[in-house]
Amino acid sequence: MADAVSLKNKGNDAFKQKDWPGAIEYYTKAIELNEQEPSFFTNRAQANIKLEAYGYAIADASKAIEIDPNFAKAYYRRAVANTAILKHGDAIHDWKAVVRKNPADKVAKAQYEACQKMVKRDAFLKAIEIADAPSAAEGLDLESMVVEDTYDGVRLKDEMTQEFVNDMIERFKNGKKLHRKYVFQIILAVKNLVYEEATMVETIVAPEHKLTVCGDTHGQYFDLLEIFRLNGFPSEKHGYLFNGDFVDRGSWSTEIALLLYAYKMMYPKFFFLNRGNHETDDMNRMYGFEGECKAKYNERVFKLFSESFSALPLATLIGDKYLTLHGGLFSDDAITLDDIRKLNRHNQRQPGQAGLMMEMLWTDPQTMPGRGPSKRGVGLQFGPDVTKRFCEKNGLEAVIRSHEVRMEGYEVEHDGRCITVFSAPKYCDSTENKGAYINIESDYKLQFNKFDAVPHPDIKPMAYANNGMMSMM
């Protein structure tokens, strides 16, 4: 027991240093020495929550409850993890248990009440859901919308200009907003552009050209600008592919979305956007983007963004060599690139809990062969053998995906056939990770580049999330 406690303490030290993988390693070693101490499991659950491995956190908390059914912290951890993956119906039972065991805990009581509201909200939204709801653009008359003389920014006409983009970058750096007419104009233009693109966009890198692949940016606007500063701004010879999760968590999500959309307007054939699991309504309601849109602009802006997100392609094939998609591979070996090509994403606005779209947005690699349950509690995990078969069957060199923090900003796995790239350094101001991006030239060799986070104004992540529960994550 003394050795186990020593390992747990080392795990606590790693946790304080925000080294979540290191903390998990120590807690796991402690558990191997003593499997009957519930606090080892709840500590590991909290580290898994920090890594967004909510499925693992739920399993750890459940084990702690099995050992000690009266351990309130275990119910607390499981409630937080279930809330994070939007399983509010499961979370509410655990919050109730925490309140029952610790009736004086005001924080737990507030979380329980917030969860009750979310359960009611989810039921209400489901009840009023309309299959073919009218577009938020209906009745929006941009022609008659006046930009006041007092507006101090560059004017936008029919086409995006470098002058407008430069002004937008500076406005956002200084905490200013775009005029709402221009916000509507940009979102509508990009919605129409991406709607006409294939579910899997196919592109090549021409001689003397370069394509940069970026992973999650999650509302970290100043770190996005650092990518452009280090690597060059988009142009007709320097294309970019942003591989989903532009928004949520970080508190400059509207700024990132609008800047990426402006570049898509300016370079529609050289600037690409894949959908991520956070370009979805339920995640946007939980993790801040909906609240940010309403706070900085209005609800209609969020609804238009939502429509544009559902129109985004789900994958990009680069030079017939690299399939780039946000999450990863599939539950069925029979799936091919042709199945992605044939997928009509416009028939299903949100990814749901099963199916091809959900798997493209949510799955993760694992080190073990075969397939396994998701550490997130959503989707599944796929092993190196799954990746090898998929790449060989489809003539690919590798799959490039994002969706997960990597401490060095990227990781090459599965014998070089699965590459993760993540472009939000010091993620949520709480993880000491680097960011990364990948440059690809006409020889199709992958050039990995790492970068550090840069300072930003003192606005915390999740500043616009609509419930206090997020502070527990």
Whether pLDDT at 470 is above 70: no
Give the mean pLDDT of 181-210.
98
Beta carbons within 10 angstroms of residue 27's beta carbon: 29
Give the mean pLDDT of 280-298.
95
Same domain, 268 and 378: yes
Whether pLDDT at 66 is above 70: yes
Of the candidates 180, 326, 176, 177, the residue with the CA atom closest to the CA atom of residue 247: 326
Strands 410-413 and 418-421: antiparallel
Same domain, 108 and 192: no
Q: Is residue 423 part of a domain?
A: yes
Of the candidates 272, 364, 371, 268, the residue with the CA atom closest to the CA atom of residue 315: 272
Tell me how far the alpha carbon of residue 245 is from its chain's centroid.
4
Please report which confidence band the pLDDT of residue 466 belongs to, taking 50, 70 and 90 as the band edges. low
Q: Is residue 37 part of a domain?
A: yes
Q: Is residue 24 part of a domain?
A: yes
Q: Catalytic amino acids?
A: 278
Whether pLDDT at 472 is above 80: no
Please report which confidence band the pLDDT of residue 108 belongs to, taking 50, 70 and 90 as the band edges. confident
Whether pLDDT at 339 is above 80: yes
Q: Is residue 143 part of a domain?
A: no
- Are the C-beta atoms of 307 and 136 separated by less than 8 Å? yes
Same domain, 259 and 373: yes
Task: Write the CB contacts of 257 (distance below 8 Å, at least 6 apart in sequence).
Answer: 246, 247, 305
Q: How far is residue 239's CA from residue 214's CA, in Å, rounded to a whole number?
A: 11
What CATH number is given to the structural domain containing 414? 3.60.21.10
Q: Is residue 134 part of a domain?
A: no
Whether pLDDT at 469 is above 60: no
Domain end point (choices 72, 102, 128): 128
Whether pLDDT at 93 is above 80: yes
Q: Is residue 147 part of a domain?
A: no
Whether pLDDT at 261 is above 80: yes
Q: How confident is the model over 14-56, as pLDDT tens digits?
A: 999 988 999 999 999 999 999 999 999 999 999 999 999 999 9
The pLDDT of residue 119 is: 85
Same domain, 240 and 362: yes
Whether pLDDT at 132 is above 70: no
Whether pLDDT at 350 is above 90: no
Same domain, 168 and 118: no
Same domain, 383 and 286: yes
The pLDDT of residue 145 is: 94
Same domain, 176 and 89: no
For 58, phi then psi, to 5°, come to -65, -40
Domain end point (choices 76, 110, 128): 128
The pLDDT of residue 468 is: 52
Same domain, 70 and 171: no
Whether pLDDT at 342 is above 80: yes
Give the mean pLDDT of 248-263.
97
Give the domain range for residue 385. 162-472
The pLDDT of residue 131 is: 61
Q: How confident is the model over 377-406, as pLDDT tens digits?
A: 888 999 999 999 999 999 999 999 999 999
The chain-wide mean pLDDT, for the chain, equals 94
Range in 76-90, 109-123, 175-189 the model is least confident about: 109-123
Q: Is residue 153 part of a domain?
A: no
Give the mean pLDDT of 330-337.
97
Residue that the structure tokens 């248990």 belong to: 97
Whether pLDDT at 473 is above 60: no
Domain end point (choices 113, 128, 143): 128
CA 287-350-81 angle, to 5 degrees, is 40
Q: Is residue 225 part of a domain?
A: yes
Task: Write the CB contacts of 346 (distance below 8 Å, at least 6 apart in sequence).
Answer: 195, 310, 311
Whether pLDDT at 171 is above 70: yes
Please report which confidence band the pLDDT of residue 374 belongs to, taking 50, 70 and 90 as the band edges. very high
Amino acid at residue number 456: H
Give residue 282's region: left, alpha or beta (phi > 0; psi -120 to 50): alpha
Q: How confident is the model over 178-187, as pLDDT tens digits?
A: 999 999 999 9
Q: How many domains does the chain have?
A: 2
Same domain, 384 and 451: yes
Q: What percent of the chain has pLDDT over 90?
A: 85
Whether pLDDT at 134 is above 70: yes
Q: How far is residue 423's CA from residue 434's CA, in Å, rounded to a whole number?
A: 8
The pLDDT of residue 97 is: 93
The pLDDT of residue 125 is: 75
Same domain, 169 and 116: no
Same domain, 430 and 334: yes
- Are the C-beta atoms of 286 and 465 separated by less than 8 Å? yes
Same domain, 51 and 176: no
Q: How far is residue 81's CA from residue 400's CA, in Å, rounded to a whole number?
A: 27
What CATH number is given to the structural domain containing 94? 1.25.40.10
Whether pLDDT at 60 is above 80: yes
Of the candidates 306, 305, 324, the residue with the CA atom closest to the CA atom of residue 315: 324
Whether pLDDT at 110 is above 70: yes
